[in-house]
Amino acid sequence: MRIDAARGHIFPVTVVCIIIIVLWYLAAIPMNAVVTQPKIDAAGGGLYNTLLFSWNHERPVLPAPHQVAQEIWKTVFMVAPWKVKSLVYHLWITLSSTLVGFLLGTVLGVTLAIGIVHVGSLEKSLMPWIIASQTIPILAIAPMLIVVLGKTGLPDIFTKASISTYLCFFPVAIGMVKGLRSPDKLQLDLMQTYNASAAQVLWKLRFPAAMPFLFASLKVSVAIALTGAIVAELPTGAVSGIGARLLQGSYYGQTLQIWAALFVAAFAAATLVWLLGSFERMSWKRMGAKP
Amino acid sequence: MVKTSYPPNHNMNWGGEKVAENVITARDLDLTFQTHDGPVFALSKINLDVAEGEFVSFIGPSGCGKTTLLRAIADLEKSSSGTLTVNGMAPEQARLARGYGYVFQAPALYPWRTVERNVGLPLEIMGLDNQAARIQRNLDLVNLTGFEKKFPWQLSGGMQQRVSIARALAFDPKLLLMDEPFGALDEIVRDKLNQQILELWDRTGKTVVFVTHSIPEAVFLSTKIVVMSPRPGRIVDVIESRLPRKRTLDIREAPEFLKIAHRVREGLKAGHSYED
């Protein structure tokens, strides 16, 4: 059953991958023309020279996929992970503040949701602020938050993580408000007939009922937590982290470095989402969901 | 326990040997819902006595307030005026004292809990001891031994509703309130469950209040049938059934059974229940 399902996925995904790679290779030819055209001409032109130079330039405008792959191979597997040249090192820097921010954001979001569900006035007073908080462009608020928090003497990781927290708590709060309110009237009435306390209703009914909503929110928020951590590295002039690699890459025109960092970040995000998906499936199994 | 202040003389059980204690007493009970379209008179001038050990059915068309009356007894709705006592107390006190078990129209099982943990839910909440033994005894009572580890989705609708009955009985309340518990089930399953619930009632000696819109179901199960009518929700007839306590489905062909069913139908007609 599972293998069939996987097979059903693999084919369309592979097809899309191949199409993207082909388009990418094609796009590299005109996009790199600025830097490669003189060399192609000097070598006598022709299809062979065009492809050779377009796809193997040292500092291309758009590197070809295999160049990015080589760069990733070089910086991930050929360098000790604790060296500054290693992408693993930079990824770990970013990932650690991502996870701290994600955890804080989740706790904040769940706490807000519990408050909103139980105290009627909190919904009216907090909800508009929660929503307004997300209309502010993160790029505008990130430098201010980081400067302000930097002055409080908090460890650096919390300063950076605050941006992730800021982005994360929102989907969790919204999802959990909906989730904690998802039990139907009969399930709630039942608790009332037992004269159950609010805490008992929360733990034995509202929380388990909110689990599907929580996982959906967590998958969204873990991905944006990573974005937040990268954004947080930009205004600080950080020297390490995926954000720093992106920034340095664009300063020095190291497109390969940028693309490699981008791909590793995307891969990390996908892994985090996948991990949460596995947790979700495990908890479904424990909660006896219909397979 | 506080004695009720209304010991009416028909408060004899149909055996007539002893005067049974009143479990539910309602006097001039009104319940009005305030809606945007003005007040809805859900219950009007309800007078009712339910003695210990009785099996009482509320029957009537939708909108007659039968579920509202049950919910008022359970303190899930508040009455507007009149008096209502449950186990000799105000409904709220009775609820706080966990004086009744309630079975809803739908099983309302928690899907993430196994059968045994669903039945154990009230025990956990009330912090009672001997949970495993209580769960076992009540699952046995509804013939579901062996299904402890199953999850609700693995059971049929009828079995789910039996789990919810076991759950309502788990903490051994004296009073069992059932709100159209078999309404969503097919006729064959319903017949079977009706027999089982009668056996259960006979074995446990609980007082049962049962809401239904099925005339045969009401007559088959009850020692007392309360016929209700809508707009405003009111009681139009109270029928004391003389059918024997132990009944089989065959009794539905008996003349006495048909006579009672006829009287229920007449009551519904008199209350304009058959009109639009």
Q: Which tens digit of pLDDT belongs to each residue from A107-133?
A: 999 999 999 999 988 888 888 888 888
Q: What is the pLDDT of residue B15?
A: 45
In angstroms, what separates the C-alpha of A251 from chain B's closest C-alpha?
54
Average pLDDT over residues A5-30: 87
Average pLDDT over residues A140-150: 83
Look at residue B82 and tell me whether its pLDDT is greater than 90.
no
Give residue for tokens 């010991």: B7
Q: Which residues of B touch A189 (CB under 8 A)?
A: 76, 102, 104, 108
Phi first, then psi, for residue A32 (nearest 5°) are -90, 0
Residue B126 tokens read as 């009330």
Whether residues A144 and A260 share a domain: the answer is yes
Measured over the CA atoms of residue A76, residue A79, residue A81 and residue A85, the dihedral's sign is negative
Look at residue B14 and tell me whether its pLDDT is greater than 60.
no
In CATH, B1-99+175-276 is 3.40.50.300: yes
Residue A20 tokens read as 């993207």
Compute the half-sphere exposure of residue A205: CA atoms within 13 Å on the CB side of its CA.
26
Using a CB–CB cut-off of 8 Å, the residues of B that contact A are 74, 76, 95-96, 98, 100-102, 104-106, 108, 110-114, 121-122, 124-126, 151, 153
CB B43 within 8 A of CB B86: no
End-to-end CA distance of chain A: 11
Q: What is the pLDDT of residue B20?
A: 56
> Among A181, A195, A197, which Cα is nearest to B74's?
A195
Amino acid making up residue B232? P
In angstroms, what separates the C-alpha of B131 from chain A's closest C-alpha?
16
Q: What is the pLDDT of residue A5?
A: 58
Interface test with A, best of B110, B126, B150, B151 (most A CBs within 10 A): B110
CB A256 within 8 A of CB A67: yes
Look at residue B126 and tell me whether its pLDDT is greater than 80.
yes
Q: pLDDT tens digits for B217-261?
A: 999 999 999 999 888 888 888 888 888 888 888 888 888 889 999
Q: pLDDT tens digits for A81-94?
A: 888 888 899 999 89
Look at residue B10 and tell me whether its pLDDT is greater than 70.
no
| In a domain? residue A153 | yes
Structure confidence at residue B17 as a pLDDT band (50, 70, 90):
very low
Q: Which residues are within 8 A (CB) of A271 and not within 5 positions of it... i.e. 6 or more apart?
A: none
Whether residues A54 and A143 share a domain: the answer is no
Tell me, what DSSP letter sits at residue A281? Answer: H
Whether residues A133 and A263 share a domain: the answer is yes
Q: Which residue range(s) make up the domain with A251? A: 87-286
| In a domain? residue A72 | no
Of B95, B101, B110, the CB nearest to A187: B110
> Among B118, B80, B90, which Cα is nearest to B25's?
B90
Q: What is the pLDDT of residue B118?
A: 94
Whether residues A91 and A148 share a domain: the answer is yes
- Which CATH number characterizes residue A109's domain? 1.10.3720.10
Q: Which residues are within 8 A (CB) of B190 and not within 5 positions of it... i.e. 6 or more apart?
A: B182, B214, B217
Q: pLDDT tens digits for A56-103?
A: 888 888 999 999 999 999 888 888 888 888 889 999 989 999 999 999
Whether residues A131 and A251 share a domain: the answer is yes
The domain spans of chain B are: 1-99+175-276, 109-172
Average pLDDT over residues A164-179: 93
Of A186, A288, A289, the CB nearest to B106: A186
Q: What is the pLDDT of residue A155?
A: 81
Q: Which residues of A touch B98 (CB under 8 A)?
A: 194-195
Given an 8 Å threshold on Cβ–Cβ distance, is A186 in contact with B126?
A: no
Given an 8 Å threshold on Cβ–Cβ distance, is B124 in contact with A204?
A: yes
Whether residues A129 and A206 share a domain: the answer is yes
Q: What is the pLDDT of residue A4?
A: 59
Q: What angle do CA B5, B81, B23 make, to 5 degrees?
A: 35
**Residue ending a domain, choose from A62, A95, A113:** A62
CB B180 within 8 A of CB B211: yes
Percent of chain A with pLDDT over 70: 97
- Residue length of chain B: 276
Q: What is the pLDDT of residue B69?
A: 92
Average pLDDT over residues A227-253: 84
Q: What is the pLDDT of residue B11?
A: 43
Tell me, what DSSP letter sits at residue A79? Answer: S
Distance of alpha carbon B84 from alpha carbon B75, whole angstroms? 10
Average pLDDT over residues A194-216: 93
pTM of the model: 0.81
CB B79 within 8 A of CB B72: yes
Q: What is the pLDDT of residue A67?
A: 92
CB of A41 within 8 Å of any CB in chain B?
Answer: no
Look at residue B7 and tell me whether its pLDDT is greater than 90.
no
Whether residues A172 and A227 share a domain: the answer is yes
CB A146 within 8 A of CB A162: yes
| In a domain? residue A70 | no
Whether residues A58 and A150 share a domain: the answer is no
Q: What is the pLDDT of residue B276?
A: 63
Of B100, B108, B113, the CB nearest to A190: B108
CB of A199 within 8 Å of any CB in chain B?
Answer: no
Q: pLDDT tens digits for B49-67?
A: 998 889 999 998 888 888 9
Distance of alpha carbon B258 from alpha carbon A120, whole angstroms? 54
In chain B, whose CA is at the least distance from the CA of A288? B112
| In a domain? residue A79 | no
Given an 8 Å threshold on Cβ–Cβ distance, is A200 in contact with B76?
A: no
| In a domain? residue A80 | no
Q: What is the pLDDT of residue B178?
A: 94
Q: What is the pLDDT of residue B9?
A: 43
